[in-house]
Chain A
Amino acid sequence: NAGVTQTPKFQVLKTGQSMTLQCAQDMNHEYMSWYRQDPGMGLRLIHYSVGAGITDQGEVPNGYNVSRSTTEDFPLRLLSAAPSQTSVYFCASSTGGNEQFFGPGTRLTVL
């Protein structure tokens, strides 16, 4: 099993550009989530999903969209990137308990 995979590993965007961060898991986990990590702030929940077709907002959802068309994939879309979205983004998945497994992260810089 590859576990949780994220692409790209690094990305630089200009303000106003859009892009999609990819996340996939091969563990047949129903639950997936996206976090952002900023210095000195730990991880903050952006969006999460409890199954295909079901998504909900977390603590900091503004500026981000998600969809869950399959169990395996949970992409995160930035509609119009802003410098405040410069961060490290982590995707996580779980079987249903709170023991979430994290991907390696995507480091995003918005100029």
Chain B
Amino acid sequence: GQQLNQSPQSMFIQEGEDVSMNCTSSSIFNTWLWYKQEPGEGPVLLIALYKAGELTSNGRLTAQFGITRKDSFLNISASIPSDVGIYFCAGQIGGSWGKLQFGAGTQVVVTP
């Protein structure tokens, strides 16, 4: 079953505000990934993290790989309307390629 807990489930924010979401796991992960999904489309990779403690940015997005290897967070700064979508975390256990586990997603709604 699903081992990743992603929170919050949804966020309603005003344009310009910062957004923060996180994922926690009962297992240690070697890789954390953050995806964004827009309606009617497949998930698109935003940020990939490979080392405990790693902090990586992609434009207004910043993500960190927790030092315990059991958690990760994603921040979006100065949100804009096109940030609307569902954000998923995903983690990989051990060395087995392809066995990603996904969180249930955080739905972000940005109002002007």
Contact = CB atoms under 8 A, between A and B. Distances in A.
B100 A45 contact: yes
Interface string A67-109: 0000000000000000000000010101011111111110000
Interface residues of A, number: 28
B45 A43 contact: no
B92 interface: yes
A40 interface: yes
A43 B31 contact: no
Interface string A32-64: 010100001111110010100000101100000
Nearest to A97: B48
B108 interface: no
A54 to B, nearest CB: 11
A7 to B, nearest CB: 14
Interface in B83-112: 88, 90, 92, 97-105
Which of B43, B88, B90, B98 has most chain A Cβ within 10 Å?
B98
Interface residues of B, number: 26
A98 B102 contact: no
Contacts of A59: 101
Interface of B: 2, 4, 6, 9, 31, 33, 35, 40-45, 48, 88, 90, 92, 97-105
29 contacts: A31-B98, A40-B104, A40-B105, A41-B104, A42-B2, A42-B88, A42-B104, A43-B43, A43-B90, A43-B100, A43-B102, A45-B99, A45-B101, A48-B99, A50-B98, A59-B101, A90-B43, A94-B98, A96-B97, A98-B92, A98-B97, A98-B98, A98-B100, A99-B33, A100-B98, A101-B45, A105-B40, A105-B41, A105-B42
